[in-house]
Structure 1
Amino acid sequence: LPLGFQAWEQSAGVIVFPNIQLLASEVSKLLTKEIKKNLNGKPAEEARLALMQFLQQKGEAENGLLLLKSVYLLSQTDLRTMWNIIGSGLPAALMQCLYLFFTFPLKKNSDDGEAIEDDTETQEMLVKIMLNMYREEQGIEELLAADKLQSLIIATTSLWDQCSHLWKVPTGRVLRTISKAQTKNSIVYLQAVDCIKIAVQNLFKLADTLPACDVCEAASIVLCFVKDSYPISSALLTEFENNDGYQLLLSILLRCEGLQQNEGDHYLDEILDMLTCLTTCGKTELKVSGNIVHPQLPHFNFETTRSSGMTVKNLQAFQVLQSVFQKSNDQHLCGRILTAIATIWAWDTVNFFLLEWTLQPINQFTDIIHSKPHPVQVQFFRLVESIVLDLSYVPHEILKKVQYLIKENVVPLCTLTALRCLLSMTKKDLLFSDIFRDSGLLGLLLALLRKQAKILRKSAGTHLPGLTEGTEKELNAVMLKMVAALTVKSVRNS
């Protein structure tokens, strides 16, 4: 076996075995048998140590490492060979190994430098074998025999701060692979043991104690199982919802305020992406029953707005995104929420109307946008502008709110950004000359310019602070451009 596999490895798999499927089956059965022998009758920590020693042995006593390497090479050949490996009982045996390696970190000693290096080499082969097996439906079905899948998922939500640091990322990779290959039987199994319920309860405890990036990492694994299972069955999503899963996500996301850039970004983005996907998970189609306020752009016709199927059906999931934006002033977090909303609109034009005629996110955000960081304000008004530019729709209620924001002028830089947004709309179509005259915007701008002229006359010879001076000057310039745009082609406005 050693010489055969050494030659095969060096020949890049060109050497052909007479019956590679039989070889794969026998080698995998032997590895499974040896793993069970090392586990049998031992306490968990002792079994973990025995397993790692068996799989890392060097020199003459390297049977475990040789068997592992043999299966590793065979697992990369073809599907029929993989089915023989799966049929050996190895999926369940390796899941038991992964559970022990993740849950019970090795105790450090003076010689642990070499052990960690060996551990990494063995780990890579173990993980790749598992990834190859668990991508297949047969691999998932065999895995359920071990009854360790639920234990490992629960362990990630209860022992994240006590587990082996070296096995965190590999365990996440393996569980995500299993999640993507879920079957009806695996979902029934997870539901029967209240896996999602227990995981959510554990995460509520972690959410108050662990650093935000760690909680995101642990929560993203559970959310994968909820999202990926939905096309097959809604059972895990229902279990998640019935145990305050959305409240959990809201708590976790709000804890991400103030995270340093790139700190836990990947897992935060993953949670937000999955939550965005969950907004389309629901059995009942929402009805668009709002009234279209006129006037509208000539080429807008709501009756011809057709659904692509990616419509919002889960308002609870969207409410988490909406609540995070309303409660947070974190630039990165608020920016990601606006990006998620833009993505939902891009999936289906109908989604803008479904959301604005139910939860009114953009309408409500306009009331608080002045309190957000300036980059978020810029992103928000680009989103408002896209309603007109991309959807060809005039959102009268939202524009009234924007106009009120300009009138109040609480934060001049925000007012300037809002005014630029309206100016861009005005340039799109002459209709806005009538809309903004009838709404009182033209009169408001003329009044503000007169007021500003008086201030400038009174302050002649005095110097205003730099930022205020620059912003006020630019605001006056944009107000003048806006008045010009509203009057240039409108006799009535002139």
Structure 2
Amino acid sequence: MNIMRKFRPGGASAPSVSQDEANSNPQHTALGLMHLKKLFSEYTHPSHPLTEKERDDKLYNMLPLFCKVFGNSPSSDMMEKFRDILAFCQQVSRLMVSEMRRRASNQSTEAASCAIVKFLEIENSEESSNGWMLLSALNLLAAGDVSLVQVMTSVSVPSTLVKCLYLFFDLPEIENPDTTENGSEFTPRERRILLQKIFVQVLVRLCSHTAPAEELARKDDLTLLFSAITSWCPQHNVMWRKSAAEVLMTLSRHGLTQPVVSYIHNKGCVALCIDNMQRVQELSPLEIVEMFVAVFCFLKDSSEVAQTLLEDFRSCQGYLFLSEFLLK
């Protein structure tokens, strides 16, 4: 499938002509779509009551087909050709939130982060990796119509993923990162990079709309992004801090409604950033520069909505800290 190929560092071997033809053949796609509709109809109207596990298994079995049908199509096709797409989106979103919460419940941050990553990373193949396929399906859905994003938001996908992103700061270093395991096409390092790329893409796509930003504010999870971009983390997890900055920059361009700005002001998020940069001794000068860049990009975008956050930066002695840092 092409979802994985797009993310693999350095690219992967080109698919055979027959694979490309199969993926682009309208007849194959139409047959796949018909089968997907049939499977989802059986899922929503089962001939006998299903246990929760049976329902989840049926949904997992649909995900590779969904990704194959819509992975190479315009995102508008989902709304135009699959009339149950909103219901499908709700069920996929519900399953993702449930899986993340189950793995994080009653765990230390390190144990929770490891359990979530183990579930989401690709294994020997895409189709056999339930978590990877779930994330891939969400990635396609997040690129779709705003109504799909609203469905995902109503089920708490944005806030759940941001919580996961924050947990990833506590991931331990990968053991034997460049050793390919038996039967696997990827090294542990490659699997982690693939996960990081698709995970952040889902969040960036979601935060290109206003509803997810407002949900993050309502759930009091938006402050986690501000904390994340200005927190120390071990070198092997720096990519997650960069991911948090990318998500926050996207949100600043597309999601700064008045309620979101008010939340950031009332929670003292700008002051939190400055305090983190001043207080954490382990941060290198280069890391602090990168943090300043992220904060200033956010402030620049916010100034087009209101001057509130720029005032917050001034009142928490942000300009003084900046000048002292530059004069060191």
The count of aligned residue pairs is 253
Cα deviation code 1:95-126 (max 9, x no counterpart): 0111112x214323125652221111122221
Aligned residue for 1:108? Answer: 174
Aligned residue for 2:267? Answer: 193
Aligned residue for 2:71? Answer: 9
Give the direction of change, closer, same or farther, for the CA distance of 1:8–1:135 in structure 2 (3 Å limit): closer
Give the direction of change, closer, same or farther, for the CA distance of 1:4–1:184 in structure 2 (3 Å limit): closer
Give the direction of change, closer, same or farther, for the CA distance of 1:155–1:131 in structure 2 (3 Å limit): closer
- Alignment partners' CA distance in 2, 1:100 and 1:72: 20
* Residue 270 of structure 2 is aligned to residue 203 of structure 1: no
Amino acid at match of 1:36: R
Aligned residue for 1:47? Answer: 112
Q: Secondary structure at the match of 1:174?
A: helix
- Aligned pairs for 1:343-382 within 5 A: none
Q: Is the 8 A contact 1:161 1:210 kept in 2?
A: no
Give the direction of change, closer, same or farther, for the CA distance of 1:155–1:162 in structure 2 (3 Å limit): farther
Offset, 1:41:
1.3
Cα deviation code 1:318-376 (max 9, x no counterpart): xxxxxxxxxxxxxxxxxxxxxxxxxxxxxxxxxxxxxxxxxxxxxxxxxxxxxxxxxxx
Cα deviation code 1:146-189 (max 9, x no counterpart): 42321331233231566712323222211111222222222222
* Residue 183 of structure 2 is aligned to residue 78 of structure 1: no
TM-score normalised to structure 2 length:
0.69
Q: Is the 8 A contact 1:48 1:104 kept in 2?
A: yes
Q: Secondary structure at the match of 1:224?
A: helix
Amino acid at match of 1:62: S
Aligned residue for 2:98? Answer: 33
Q: Is the 8 A contact 2:163 2:224 kept in 1?
A: no
- Aligned pairs for 1:33-432 within 5 A: 33-58=98-123, 62-101=129-168, 103-111=169-177, 114-159=187-232, 164-180=237-253, 181-205=255-279, 210-255=283-328
Q: Secondary structure at the match of 1:164?
A: helix
Identity %: 27
Structure showing greater relative contact order (alpha-carbon pairs closer than 8 Å, 6 or more residues apart): 2
Q: Is the 8 A contact 2:213 2:222 kept in 1?
A: no
- Aligned pairs for 1:467-482 within 5 A: none
Q: Which runs of 5+ in 1 are unaligned?
A: 256-494
Superposition RMSD in Å: 2.5
Q: Is the 8 A contact 2:120 2:135 kept in 1?
A: yes
Q: Which runs of 5+ in 2 are unaligned?
A: 1-61, 180-186
* Residue 96 of structure 2 is aligned to residue 23 of structure 1: no
Q: Which moved more, 1:225-234 or 1:29-38?
A: 225-234
Q: Is the 8 A contact 1:93 1:146 kept in 2?
A: no
Q: Is the 8 A contact 1:179 1:229 kept in 2?
A: yes
- Alignment partners' CA distance in 2, 1:87 and 1:133: 12
Amino acid at match of 2:70: W
Q: Is the 8 A contact 1:203 1:248 kept in 2?
A: no
Amino acid at match of 1:227: K
Offset, 1:191:
2.2
Cα deviation code 1:369-404 (max 9, x no counterpart): xxxxxxxxxxxxxxxxxxxxxxxxxxxxxxxxxxxx
Q: Is the 8 A contact 1:154 1:198 kept in 2?
A: yes
